[in-house]
Amino acid sequence: MRKLSALGAALATVLALPATATAAPAVQDIEYRGYHFSVPATWQIIDLATDPTACVRMDRKALYLGTPAADQNCPAKIIGRTEAIAVQPSDSAERGTVENPVAQEFSAVADRIQVSATYDSDRQLIRDILTKAKLPADAPRNPAPRDNSSARVTAAGNLIDHIGKGFDTCAAPSSSAMQAWKNGSPYGAAGIYIGGSKRGCKQPNLTASWVNEQAAAGWKFMPIYVGPQAADLGSPATQGRDAANDAIAQAQSLGFGAGSLLHYDMEQYTAGYRTNVLAFLSAWTQQLHARGYRSSVYSSASSGMKDLAQQAGTGYTLPDAIFGADWDNSADTDIQNVGPGLWSGHQRIKQYAGEVTENYGGVSLRIDRDYLDIRFGGSTTTSGPAYHATRLSDGNWTDWVPSKGIDGAAEFRGSVTGITALPDNSAQVAGVGADGNVYHNIRFANGTWQGWGALPGYDGGTRFQASSVAIAGLPDKSAQVVAIGNDGNLYDTVRLPDGNWRAWAPLAGYGGAPRFGASAVAVTGLADGTGQLVAVGNDGNVYHAVRRADGTVTGWAPVTGYDGAARFAATAVSISGLPDKSAQLLAIGNDGNVYHNIRFANGTWQGWGPLPGYDGGVKFAASAVAITGVAGGSAQLLAVGNDGRIYHNIRFADGNWQGWGQVRGPGGAAGFAASAVTAAGFADGSVQFMAIGR
């Protein structure tokens, strides 16, 4: 037996069995804060209390005990993971174990500890170690109340544009180290490893608040995702889409909103892997584009950069930018095998030196040196022109018509709109303009428009800034508007029948929290004067609440997940009431596919089910969804597919589906490329749609 210094309660015992053909491998039993971890005897046990600056690197078979230092002694880059576990103290009230199969990792929170565990080829080993340690069973954790303002503030700003030097390093440095380097170094941008199954370093500093703090200090960022490498690509198209979806989830958790440039790290590979790598990177880029993000690829000049450059002009889906490794010690964007006419519009980064140690302000970091020429424009929010169309009760469509803009502008440009039907057959629309403010409009029953007007702000402000907005009409001709403010929390207001507005008020959060931080929200009204709200909380899971007829809101409740899971993780949601007082929900799951659910009038749920895909596909992948109830009990859907185009579907009253069909664009175009959609059903069986074009 050996005792781990400075860990009073921790001990290790190697349990050796007789050498027989069927003997189990020797293990060592490690006790930490009352939990026993039985790990292979060959694993290293690293006591961070004894060696506080040790790099918690998940590419070595090891059990790490204790809290990692704010500035670990890590190399500039570690690519790859194996079976490894890091355990540290925790006072969190959360409980549960979550697996991210794309990133090949488990995270668990129990009484007094939190655990991060990764795996490569032996998932079952990690699963067994965690189970024997009596950690909570698999279930998404109940989120502790937390402020989501950091993520939202950074998402609203431009975090990616930079011309000049930058650096990347394996573990995000502490804020004090970043400040020292901001004051003394020539660097203005930092590469941060946001996720992926091959991310080697643990990231104790990398949070939304850290990103926000560094952004406020003037840093720009290169968010890098390092997932499967060339030799790992058995199903490259599927793996590319999965990697993109997970990268977006990690980026959103840090505050990098739609429009951000995400870099895929594909290390050098040999020519035999070329076909699979190109298929993977094409799928990565297509899925990022479908969900409103920009794509970049990091690779060596001799492999990935060369192969991508050769695809120019062939119809292949190229990334928006490249990040080439060409260690010639020249701080410029000249990359071997990439001609000067390719990615020439401020679309390049070059890593021009690697694994060097530099010291500024007394802080040493091991880094790779980069030079950036990136300029994609001001806001990271995708905005475009708003269009309106009607599907008549006979199934015919009117043409898509651009909505006239504010103060005489030719068109209204924004990032999202919501539309709802009122009893007088008018439609009310709420939208987030290109300036980030919430606007309101009315389409009267005769087809004319009132015109866009800005909503007043919260607590006396002149404007209300938001990242998303939804609207629901009620039987008394009022309309409830719910928005995600620029602090990341939910607020609601009501437009009264006389045209006046109630003041914005924050919605209380889940589990007694004073605010509800969310990344997506939808609302619907029912015939009895109540409303139902659905939102994606800042833990990534779907929550539901009821707005009573008197305006009070019930507490939020998590919506049970798919196929027996305790929670349903999603990136987008939509909800619509039906005449029978039920509500139908759509959501885009974390796998990027569209799911449907029903909340019956008695408060019970049908359960999530995936929607069949287009043209015989098993599932339908999308980046935006909308659903609306129609007279007679059917529901109509719009979605932006993973090709970026709008599709339409109908769920009939008997539960059958019509199937997805591509929607024609303005002027009868074969398709309509869009980033956001919304829908409202009317008593005459018609449906009005709004879309944000690209």
- What 3-state DSSP class applies to 338? coil
Rounded Cα distance between 444 and 408, Å, is 19
Beta strands in 434-569 (DSSP E): 438-443, 453-454, 466-473, 479-485, 490-495, 505-506, 518-525, 531-537, 542-547, 557-558
The more confident residue out of 570 and 3 is: 570
294 and 397, same structural domain? no
DSSP 3-state assignment of 81? coil
Tens digit of each residue's pLDDT (9 = 90 or more) over 100-154 = 999 999 999 999 999 999 999 999 999 999 999 999 875 444 333 333 333 333 3
pLDDT band for position 381 (50/70/90)? very low
Q: What is the pLDDT of residue 20?
A: 42
The alpha helices in 294-443, defined as continuous H runs, are 304-310
pLDDT tens digits, 517-576? 888 899 999 999 999 999 988 777 899 999 998 888 889 999 999 888 889 988 899 999
Residues 118 and 193 in one domain: no
pLDDT recorded at residue 140: 43
pLDDT at 9: 40
Domain end, chosen from 374, 397, 431, is at 374
pLDDT value at 470 more than 70: yes
Helix (H) or strand (E) holding 209: helix 208-216
Task: Give the separation between CA 253 and CA 347, rounded to whole angstroms.
Answer: 25
**CB-count burial class (<10 Å; 0-12, 13-18, 19+) for 277:** buried
Whether 518 and 422 share a structural domain: yes
Q: Are residues 534 and 680 in the same domain?
A: yes
Higher pLDDT, residue 138 or 375: 375
Domain that holds residue 208: 149-374
Note whether 126 and 173 are same-domain residues.
no
Q: Is 142 a domain residue? A: no
Q: What are residue 473's DSSP bridge partners?
A: 479
**Which residues lie below 8 Å from residue 554, measured CB to CB, with a gap of 6+?**
545, 546, 547, 548
Same domain, yes or no, for 437 and 570?
A: yes
SS3 content of the chain, % helix, strand, coil (to 5): 15, 40, 45
Nearest CA-CA partner of 456 in 436, 429, 438:
438
Answer positive or negative: Cα dihedral of 24, 27, 31, 37: negative
Task: Report pLDDT digits (tens) over 481-494.
Answer: 999 887 778 999 99
- pLDDT tens profile 437-451: 899 999 999 999 999
189-216 per-position pLDDT tens digit: 999 999 999 999 999 999 999 998 998 8
Kindly tell me if the per-residue pLDDT of 591 is higher than 90. no
Question: What tokens appear for 402 in the block?
Answer: 């651009």
Shared domain for 358 and 489, answered yes or no, is no
pLDDT above 70 covers a percentage of the chain that reads: 92
Residue 6 maps to a domain: yes
On the question of pLDDT at 169 being above 60, the answer is yes
pLDDT of 50 strictly over 90: yes
Provide the angle, in degrees to the nearest 10, between the axes of the packed helices 236-254 and 208-216: 60
Q: Are residues 319 and 395 in the same domain?
A: no
Phi and psi for 216 in degrees, rounded to 5? -65, -30
Same-domain check for residues 166 and 118: no
The tens digit of pLDDT for each residue in 603-621 reads 999 999 999 998 788 899 8
pLDDT at 645 over 50: yes
Same domain, 123 and 174: no
Question: Within a domain: residue 138?
Answer: no
From 33-47, 325-339, 586-600, the region with the lowest mean pLDDT: 586-600
CATH code (residue 261): 3.20.20.80
Structure confidence at residue 150 (pLDDT) = 38
The distance of Cα 365 from the centroid of its chain, to the nearest Å, equals 30
Among 374, 405, 434, the domain boundary falls at: 374
- Pairing of the two strands 384-391 and 401-402: antiparallel
End of a domain among 374, 409, 444?
Answer: 374
Tell me what the mean pLDDT of segment 422-431 comes to: 96
Residue 148's pLDDT is: 38
Domain count, the chain: 3
**Tokens representing residue 191 in the block:** 């590469």
* Token pair in block for residue 55: 């790099």
CA pair distance 57, 464, nearest whole angstrom: 44
3-state secondary structure of 183: helix
pLDDT digit string, tens, across residues 264-305: 999 999 999 999 999 999 999 988 887 778 899 999 999 999
Average pLDDT, the chain: 89
Selection from 67, 57, 64, 20 nearest residue 39 by Cα: 64
Do residues 390 and 366 both lie within one domain?
no
* Rounded Cα gap, residues 614 and 634, in angstroms: 20
Same domain for 125 and 18: yes
Residue 143 lies in a domain: no
Summarised one tens digit per residue, pLDDT across range 53-105 is: 999 999 999 999 999 999 999 999 999 999 999 999 999 887 889 999 999 99
Give residue for tokens 């994606």. 536
Q: Is the pTM of this model over 0.75?
A: no
